[in-house]
Each structure stands twice: as structure tokens, then as C-alpha cells.
A and B are shown apart, each in its own frame.
Chain A
Amino acid sequence: MSGPMEAAFYVAAAVAVVSTLLAISRLVAVHALLYLIVSFLSVAVVFYTMGAPLVATLEVIIYAGAILVLFLFVVMMLNLGTRDRDQERQWFSGAAWLGPAILSAILLAEVIYLIVSGATTGGLSATVGPKEVALALYGPYMIGVELASMLLLGAVVGATHLSKQEARP
């Protein structure tokens, strides 16, 4: 009934959910980011179990690796300290989480209802290797790739520009 891959999926999913919950509820930014890394890694496992090894690798390399490192650098640059933690606690106190939680819960309920009631049969078994992805990527999705590269270029220019201006007070 339950193969190892399947078990891995559920375990990884559970870890992802819990770590994400923790990530968004930490008062100290670094803690949050660490939980987020856990979350990303477990999502990578999920990807792997779903038969997408390329994406799983990229998840680890880019999300957990590059992006979060970026976050960490920023946190370091900002020199966040205890004052910020107190501030954070003050912001997070009381019922500030209640409304968003309810809203999100309703949304989630709706989405789940949609998924369950829809014709979403079938299992997640087929493995789609890097080769197929690469063929599709540089075949029909060429334009998308070009656009994505443009976007990234724009982001590079934008980020550079913003940080440059800052350097000149």
C-alpha cells in the first residue's frame, strides 16, 4: 500500500507545512529564514518524490541556496537587534494573527474543496527527467525563456541601480 516514496512524500509534506508555519511566525528574522530553509528543503524532497528531480535540485540550489542567502545578507546588513525583536513582538501580539488566519483558512478550504470535487484523479508517479525538461524549455518555451532572461536582466539592472543610488547619499 505505502511505498517508501509515498511515505517520503507525506513526511516531507508534513515537515514543509510545519516548518513554513514556524517560518512565518518567528519573531527573529534569522530564525524565520532558517525555518524557511527547512521548508524549502522538504519541498525539494516532495518534488523528488513527485518525479521531478531537476526541479528538486533547483529548489535546493536556487531557493534554499541563492535566494535565502540573499535574505540572510540583507538581515546582516540591517543589523537587526533586540529592539527589533521587541518591536516584532509588539506587532505580533494580541489577535493580529486572527483575521489573516481565518481569511487564509477560508481560502484554503475553498481550494481544497475545488481540488477534491474536481476531476483530479490519477497519481504522481511518472518521472520527468532533466532531458525532457530541457528539450521542452528550449523548444516550445523558447520565448518564455527569453522573457525570463529579460526579466532577470531587468532585475539585475534594477537592483544594481537601487544599491548604487544608495551609495551616493
Chain B
Amino acid sequence: MLELLWLVPAIPFASALVLAVVRLPRKVVAWLAVASIAASTIISLLITYSFLHAPPAGNAYTEVLWRWLDVSGFHPDIALYLDPLSLIFMVVVAFVSFLIHLYSTEFMIGDDGYSRFFAYMNLFVASMLTLVLANNLLLLYLGWEGVGLCSYLLIGFWYRDPVNGLAGRKAFIVTRVGDTSFAIGLFLLFQQLGTLNIQDLMRVAPQSWHVGSGVAVAVAFLLLGGAVGKSAQLPLQTWLPDAMAGPTPVSALIHAATMVTAGVYLIARTHVLYALAPSAQFAVAVIGAATLLLAGFSALTQHDLKRVLAYSTISQVGYMFLALGVGAWPAAVFHFMTHAFFKALLFLGAGIVIQALHEEHDIFRMGGLWNRLPVAFWTFLIAGCSLAGLPLITAGAFSKDWILWGAASAAQGSTGLWVAALVGVLLTSLYTFRMIFLVFFGQEHTPIAKKPGAAMLIPCIVLAFLSIAGGYIRIPFAHFLEEVLPWTTRVASAVPLSETASATAAGLVFLLGLVLAWFFILRRPSLSSALVKNPAGAALHRFWFSDWAMDWLYERLFVRPILWIAQIGKGDVIDGSYDGLALLTQGGWRALRSTQSGKLRWYAAVIAGGTIIFIAVVLFL
């Protein structure tokens, strides 16, 4: 069964190729796109089954397709690597992709770029699966860039509006900044260890470097740069909110469930390097904690439904980074999985709402939808609770409690990080219920235009189920990952609180957020608007609303200088120097031409003068 692994990325890729080249009717396009992902999903489930029942030797399976290139000691293969970590990512990616594709067949039905959309989406899935399954970092990089490309293409999918194009370009460029750091990390790794095969690297690195060695730290930081870009973490998070310009299924698939967690995957995949570089790992934790708080505050102030969700995604990925940073590896992967379910669901629900309300994005112009879009409401509510972490029931609560516990107890954990994570829970709960209350409760502002059909509702229901049930597999999940990603616990000092206490605190904080949201939004809306009107509040609101003014800063720090340099360089300064040479020649020509006066006596005089000089030279030199 395992040898079918190559089909998992290959089928979507082939389908993308067909969709890009051949012009097909809509029905066929939809079938082809969904069926290819379904095939991929089924194969990956079969592989999972066989992997669980008859684990291959070493609990890992490598499939070499062909030797990519072989140049003087550098010989990466096109090869896939399956172990519990990549298996989890593969299954989640394939499955969520399948659901979202199904959803898209209906969501995008009116669009004239139907075939193009699915071509891009399939290409994305293929790239993402390649990324996850790659056995060497070069192939991983290929997938990495591939998903970035698809992200760019899909954000700017509605290309007629230049704003979308700009958002796509921003996303591509910002993530590519991180990718450059990633690439340099690859150069450094290869230079030091002579290979890019991930497993070889993980085996050789601890032998070559001691803990905390400079090279290890450098490599870890460089890879972190790539991860930060792709996962929209501080300081490269600014592209993700703008990326919401793309169609909603794209936001659900790429900018919530899968691509933005590629950074998490990368760090988890190379966790050995981070173990060798504690300072880099600590940086991961700090970045995660800072991002989750910053994005949480920003989410509180947004008007656009999708932007709320975007900041929420940034914040949740921040949780995963926090988990990675403290050494709670499986918690990060677990949170990736639950987050994929509930955040995809939230976006799908948002898509239904937005389409129902004539492309209305402003949550203040929504309201009272709970009985008019019942399925959407209930699934959205479940996903929201999962996101906010309704204790004991939802998957999100399980994964988040696990991360909280890790922040307190894992190797790099500390009370400070734990508190940060706890504040994050409050923020999450606040903005989630603010959003839910504003969208589904209160007064009706906009009439409904369109009710969702089965193709859009079934994925929601499935994901809603998973958003709850997904949490209960925590124990087997941890067990499954045990070998690849062991939980690292703190050895030295005692942990000041127990796991139950941590979870209880999180539950209480969740409730506090819920109540506060209810109070400010439903009970006393005037209070919240008064808060915003207050000058200090207004300033803070503006600050948070603009994502801590990071865009403003980058615009002045990078974009404008670059454009400015490009603009002044437009005429090619160097060419100017050649023009100068030409002018000089021209000047010389003019000077010489003036000697050709046509005066006979002048010529004679010049000849005489020349003779004199010549004789003088012969005589006296």
C-alpha cells in the first residue's frame, strides 16, 4: 500500500495540469478537481491504515522516485518520506482540501475563472503535499515555493481589481523574504553537513555540533526566518490579513488550514536543530507568544469578518509556535490539526454568510442570522467555541490546554509564557464571541440573498464534527508521535502548577471572555462604542486596527525606499557615464573641427609648428 505514496501529490498535480491546459465544461472541471483530491485523500487514508497496522521498518517509509540531480556531491532525490509526523500532515491536508474543494464547487459556480480556480487549487494541494512529504529540504523548498506561488495566484484570483493583485504580490514578496532566509539556511546546512536529506541532517547534526554552537543557532534562526514568513508570524505577519482578498475557500484552505502551518511543520521536522540551538528555540517561543497577543488585540478591532478570522489565524499559529518553542512538539502538531478543522470551518461559514449577504464583509452590517442560516450558525458556533476553547467538549480546548500546559512545564517553558498564553485565551474568547454575537445575534441589517446548498453544507457539518471529536484522540495522537517528536519536559525546576489547574484556569478565562463579549456587544453596545470614542481608546483602536502600525512602518522602511531607488535608477546611472564619454568625444570632435578652418595660412602655420615640434623632439629628447 505504501508504495502508492507518490500518487498522493501526483494526482492533484496531474489534475492541475489538465485543468490548466484543456478547456473543459464546468461540471467536468468540478468533478475532476474534487475527484483528484478525493483520490488523494482515499489513498492517504489507505496508507495511514496500512502504516498503523503494519508499520514499516523504523516506523518510516522512504520512496525514491528519481534522482533529481547529481552534481559533485550534491545529489538530492525526488523522494518522499513518510513517518508519523508527515503522515498526520498529509492526511489532514488531503482531507481538509477535499472538503474545501467540495465546498468550492458550489461557492465558485458563478465565477468565470472556474477552471483556473481549480487548477490553482489542485496545484496548491499537490505542492502542499510535496512540502509535507519531501524527504530532503530542496524538495521541501520546491513545495514551499509552490504553495507560495499558489497563494499568490489565488489571492489575486479576481485579477480585475488591482487591489487583489497588490495583496497577492505583498503576500508573495513578504513570504519570499522569509524564504530567502530559508534558502540561505539550506546553503549553510549543505556547506556544513554536505547533504540536504532531512533524516541524514537530523542524524548528523547532533554529531557535528554541540548544543548551542554558533552554526546550529545560525541555521535554526535562518530556517525560523522562512517559517516566520510562511506562517505569518511576527515580524512578517502583515501579508495575511491582506490575503483575505482572495476567494473565501482559498482563505479557508491556504490561509487558515494548511499553508500557514507550513512553518510549524518545518520547525517540527527539523526539531533536532532547534534542540541544538536553545536560543533559537526560545526565540520561536517568544515570537509565538508575542504574535498570539498582538494578533489577538488586532482581531478585537476588525470590522471585516474575514480579517477577524485572519488575525485569529495568526494568533493561533502563534500558539503553535509557542508550543514548538517550549518543546511541546506534539502539542503544536495537535493544535495544527484541530486548528485546521475549526478554522477551515469558520472560513467556510464566513463564506456562506458573506455570499448570503451580497458580498458583505462588515460584521457591523450583519446580525440576526442565527435562525435564517441555521446550519451555518450552528457549525460556526461549534467552530467558534472550539477556537475560543470551550472546555471539555471541543477539540480546540484540548489542544490549547495542552499548549498551555506545555508553556508551563515543557523544557523551555516559563510562567511568563504561560501567562501570555492565558491572556491569549481571553483575547480569543473575546473576539470570537464578539464576532459570533455581531454576525448571528442582534438586529438584522442585511437581507439574505442566497441559501447555501448541499455541497457547501456537507463540508461544514463534517468539519463541525471533527472540531469536536478531534480533541478526544489526544492520547493516541501523542503516542503515535512519540518516536518522532517526543515531548520534552523540564528537568530542573518544579512546575508551579498542575495540568488540571492550568486547564481550569483556561476554562475560567474562556468564560470571562464570553461574558465580557456578551456584556459589551449584546447587553451594553453603547458601552463599547463609548470606549472606542474616548480619545485614548480611539488611538489604541486605530493602532490595533492597523495591526500595530506595522504596515505603515514597512511602507516607509522598505517599500518606499526600494521604489525610490528604482525610480532614480530608472535612467541607468552607468549609462549616464557612457553618455558622458560620448559628450567628451563630441567635445574633442568640436575642438578638432574648429582647426579645420579652411584658412590656407592657418594650415601652413600648423604644418610649420608641427615641424618645429617634431624637430625639437628629435633634437632634445
Contacts and interface: CB of A to CB of B under 8 A. Distances in A.
Interface of A: 99-100, 103-104, 106-107, 110-111, 113-114
B453 interface: no
A22 B170 CA distance: 93
Given A99-B605, A100-B605, A114 B612 contact: no
Contacts of A113: 619
20 contacts: A99-B605, A100-B605, A103-B605, A103-B608, A103-B609, A103-B612, A104-B608, A106-B612, A107-B608, A107-B611, A107-B612, A107-B615, A110-B612, A110-B615, A110-B616, A110-B619, A111-B615, A113-B619, A114-B615, A114-B619
A162 B615 CA distance: 38
A110 B616 CA distance: 7
The 9 closest A-B pairs by CB, nearest first: A110-B615, A103-B608, A107-B612, A106-B612, A107-B608, A110-B612, A103-B605, A110-B616, A103-B609
A117 to B, nearest CB: 8
Interface in B592-621: 605, 608-609, 611-612, 615-616, 619
Contacts of A103: 605, 608-609, 612
A103 B608 CA distance: 7
B597 to A, nearest CB: 15
A103 B616 CA distance: 13
A104 B605 CA distance: 10
B611 to A, nearest CB: 7
A91 to B, nearest CB: 11
A167 to B, nearest CB: 26
Nearest to A100: B605
A148 B605 CA distance: 29
Contacts of B616: 110
B489 to A, nearest CB: 103
A113 B611 CA distance: 15
> Would you call the interface of chain B mostly helix, strand, loop, or mixed?
helix
Nearest to B605: A103
A103 B605 CA distance: 8
Contacts of A107: 608, 611-612, 615
Nearest to B618: A114
Contacts of A114: 615, 619
Contacts of A111: 615
Interface of B: 605, 608-609, 611-612, 615-616, 619
A112 to B, nearest CB: 11
A122 to B, nearest CB: 22
A110 B608 CA distance: 12
A103 B601 CA distance: 13
A6 B616 CA distance: 33
A103 B612 CA distance: 8
Contacts of A110: 612, 615-616, 619
Nearest to A99: B605
Nearest to A113: B619
Contacts of A106: 612
Given A100-B605, A106-B612, A107-B615, 6 more contacts: A103-B608, A104-B608, A107-B611, A110-B615, A110-B616, A111-B615
A111 B609 CA distance: 14
Contacts of A104: 608
Contacts of B612: 103, 106-107, 110
A104 B608 CA distance: 8
A95 to B, nearest CB: 15
Contacts of B608: 103-104, 107
A90 B619 CA distance: 39
A94 to B, nearest CB: 15
A161 to B, nearest CB: 22
A18 B619 CA distance: 29
Nearest to B609: A103
B204 to A, nearest CB: 85
Nearest to A106: B612
A111 B611 CA distance: 11
Nearest to B615: A110
Contacts of B611: 107
Contacts of B609: 103
A81 to B, nearest CB: 24
A104 B612 CA distance: 9
Nearest to B611: A107
Contacts of A99: 605
A110 B620 CA distance: 11
B604 to A, nearest CB: 9
A115 B605 CA distance: 23
A88 B609 CA distance: 25
Contacts of B605: 99-100, 103
A100 B611 CA distance: 14
